[in-house]
Structure 1
Amino acid sequence: MRELRIHGRGGQGSVTAAELIATAAFKSKVYSQAFPAFGVERRGAPVQAFVRFDDKKIRLRSQIYEPDYIIVQDSTLIKDVDVFSGLKEGGIAIINTEKDLEAGLPEGVKIIKIDATSIALEVLGLPIENTTLMGAFAAATGEIEMAAIEEALKERFPLPLAEKNIAAAKKAYEIVKGGSA
């Protein structure tokens, strides 16, 4: 089983991203599970969402404490929350940032930095980077196929909005695949 933990702030679409990633994984013929962890948080407060992937049915229902992957939607969370907690050695951390983050990063983990906010602003016209980070995740991990992301987005959003989100995800996918993230 492989596990993903998404760190974001309320209102950034972390829960939606987890649901869409799980849907895309299922469309890629993998069992998947997505769920949030939040209480009375409000817009802007730290939130987490989780996704599990496996080739067999998933019966585990606990939070994810030792993920293989993390997505950090807001790099300011790094100083406020231990986003790297439990991240397995050899794991992948995808961080939405244009800044240099060398200090305080864990060893033995692949760090992928991508300016998903700029991509979202350019393509969507809004700083909502959850679907952009889905493309980066697909490219970095191979857990989900880009075609499956497209299907999931078309199911979730009306066509014009789905097409914009697909374009943002594809742009991030190409940047990560090309190694310039």
Structure 2
Amino acid sequence: MRKPLEIRWHGRGGQGVVTASKVLAEALLQAGKYFQAFPEYGPERMGAPVRAYNRVSDQPIRIHCGVTNPEFVIVVDPTLLSSGDILDGLVPGGTVIANFEGTPQELREKLAIKNGKVVTVDASGISREILGRVVVNTPMLGALCKVFDGVSLEVVADAVKHQFGEKLRQEIIDKNIACLKRAYEEAQIA
């Protein structure tokens, strides 16, 4: 049996990292995949570093331990790019997706990434422009959809509608979908 694909999200409390992993899980369910989604955080406070994880498979997932060797690392908060642990365990040839204003080549040099894909998107700028504030979970999901063939952008948009449907006004849901789609279009890959 093939190892499930693993995704690790890095962010700070209040940035929607856990919500993003839950939205992705819902999209994977809609796509007929097996999945896991779970958070890891220390002191529960706004601004504290937070990690969230997803596992994805076409077969039932029988392991229930932490994600140590992800194929995808998603960095929601650009200030975390300076922390030394974001690349820990990333499989050779893995993909780093970051909320970063620069090019993928600039990020590759900054993090000394030798192989694999690097994806950058100005998720903060996109959300600030569309939502009027920095909420980057949906733009980062859009960037993930650009390089992850496990689920389509349309299915993730449906999951966003469902996850946010009871919590947010339709206008805000529509703006989150706009953030998702714009990040998908603007994500740069190298």
Shorter-chain TM range is: over 0.9
Instruction: Establish whether residue 175 from structure 1 lines up as the match of residue 182 from structure 2.
Output: no
Instruction: Establish whether residue 61 from structure 1 lines up as the match of residue 64 from structure 2.
Output: yes
Q: Which residue of 1 aligns with 2:37?
A: 34
1:105 to partner: Cα distance: 2.6
Gaps of 5+ in 1: none
Corresponding pairs, count? 179
Q: Decide which of 101, 111, 121 is 1:114's aligned counterpart.
A: 121
- Is 1:156–1:162's contact at 8 Å kept on the other side of the alignment? no
TM-score of the superposed pair, with normalisation by structure 2: 0.89
Q: Which residue of 1 aligns with 2:151?
A: 144
CA separation in 1, counterparts of 2:97 and 2:175? 21
String of CA shifts for 1:83-136, please: whole Å, max 9, x gaps.
000101111100101144323332112111111000011111110001110010
* Counterpart residue identity of residue 110, structure 1: K
TM-score of the superposed pair, with normalisation by structure 1: 0.93
Q: CA RMSD in A?
A: 1.5
DSSP-derived class of the 2:47 partner = coil
State the identity as a percent: 39
CA separation in 2, counterparts of 1:51 and 1:122? 29
- Is 2:118–2:189's contact at 8 Å kept on the other side of the alignment? no
Relative to structure 1, the CA distance from residue 180 to residue 119 in structure 2 (aligned partners, 3 Å threshold; closer, same or farther) is farther
Relative to structure 1, the CA distance from residue 163 to residue 123 in structure 2 (aligned partners, 3 Å threshold; closer, same or farther) is same
Q: Decide which of 90, 93, 114 is 2:93's aligned counterpart.
A: 90
CA separation in 2, counterparts of 1:8 and 1:180? 21
String of CA shifts for 1:24-75, please: whole Å, max 9, x gaps.
1111111111000113231111110000100011121111000000100112
Q: Which residue of 2 aligns with 1:14?
A: 17
